[in-house]
Amino acid sequence: MSQHLAVSGVSGQFEFELEGLCITRDMLASLLGPVRRDENTLVGVRLPAVVEDSQTGSDGTDLVQVDGFVIEVDAVQSPQLILVGPDGQAGPDPQAAELHDRLAKTASDTARDFLTWVRLNLRQYWIAPDGPPVLRESLVYVTGSQDIIVRHQPSPGRPVPFTLAGEVPGTAIPLSGPIITPGLHRVLSGEAAGLPERLLSSAFSKLWAGYPDAQTAVFLAALACETKVKAILRLKAPAGQQPLLELIIGDRRDVTTSAPNLFDGLCKAVTGRSLREDGPDALWQALVQLIRARNDIAHRGAEPGREDAGRYLETAIRVFGWLDALPAPRA
């Protein structure tokens, strides 16, 4: 028979796995933090005691490789009732599940930020290139006790539901081998996966992660569109226009290099087509909204919702399609 337990604080341990995290031996089994994440939350990173591999650095430092770490979250909650079973295990209580998910989101965000810092400051660029590491196991319990509220081991596989598209994006053309194969050949020959495509692919990976990062996804999508249009302008411009085009694109003071005008005036000057004038219905306004969302993130720290971010990324896909279909260089 289950009981209700009144608590004023909860703690969580969230174990993440990844490949290639290197630390010094003296940091094994240590806790980094805890530090205050917000007014109600303390977080820390607990490094494991088990070594996966080791080596001695050029300066004599004893380096070890570990296969994961634990994010510890202490949350000071308002007094409330949480359903707990007689053996300390939570039943199917929505309140407990909601609490777990909230702490797991904080843990995942902390793991993402921790690994971003490691990549950039410790030059470990190979670590988890797309979003946070994999959550192996989580445990939420009453602070200062052994009363477990939730123990969770995520199922392996894709973290969000998905459906397979049956048509070429933006068209009514059914997918088939003859439709897919030419594009695949371009990818295999290295022609169809430049920097813009990699940026947009990374944007989708951020949004489709187990704990989505909509801010980064939208920022990357806008950057991908700007990088793509510049690449297309360079590709489409006649040889005689190339030096002038480089001067215009490189002049950050020139109003023609603002993101919307790259797709309007400058694009028309090079290809004879303008997204504002000749693009599909509403695509121009959708692009403007994407660029505004990016600016809101960059300048005001805005946090778009996942649904809005999904629309922005779909806009980027459509913009890529319009740019790829632009005509050959004008005479």
Q: Which residue has the higher pLDDT, 243 or 232?
A: 232
CA distance 326 to 126: 36
Looking at the structure, tell me whether residues 17 and 105 fall in a common domain: yes
Q: 220: which DSSP letter? A: H
CA distance 103 to 140: 8
Q: Any residues with CB less than 8 A from the CB of 95 and at least 6 apart, and which?
A: 80, 81, 82, 83
- pLDDT (tens digit per residue) in 277-306: 988 889 999 999 999 999 999 999 999 999
CA distance 126 to 199: 17
- pLDDT (tens digit per residue) in 171-205: 778 878 887 777 777 777 666 668 898 899 889 88
Residue 230 CB coordination number (10 Å): 18
Looking at the structure, tell me whether residues 253 and 308 fall in a common domain: yes
Provide the β-strand partners of residue 81. Answer: 6
Percentage with pLDDT > 90 across the chain = 30
Residue 167 inside a domain? The answer is no
Average per-residue pLDDT in the chain?
A: 80
Percentage with pLDDT > 70 across the chain = 77
Report whether pLDDT(252) > 70. no
Report whether pLDDT(19) > 90. no
pLDDT at res. 44: 94
Report whether pLDDT(240) > 80. no
Residue 329 inside a domain? The answer is no
Residue 236 CB coordination number (10 Å): 20
Q: Is the peptide bond before 169 cis (omega within 30 degrees of 0)?
A: no
Counted domains in the chain: 2
Domain of residue 80 covers 3-152
Query: What is the CATH classification number for the domain harbouring 293?
Result: 1.20.120
- pLDDT (tens digit per residue) in 54-106: 877 666 668 899 999 999 999 876 445 455 555 555 444 667 788 888 899 89
Tell me if 23 sits within 8 A of 64, measured CB to CB.
Answer: yes
Q: Any residues with CB less than 8 A from the CB of 11 and at least 6 apart, and which?
A: 72, 73, 74, 75, 140, 141, 142, 143
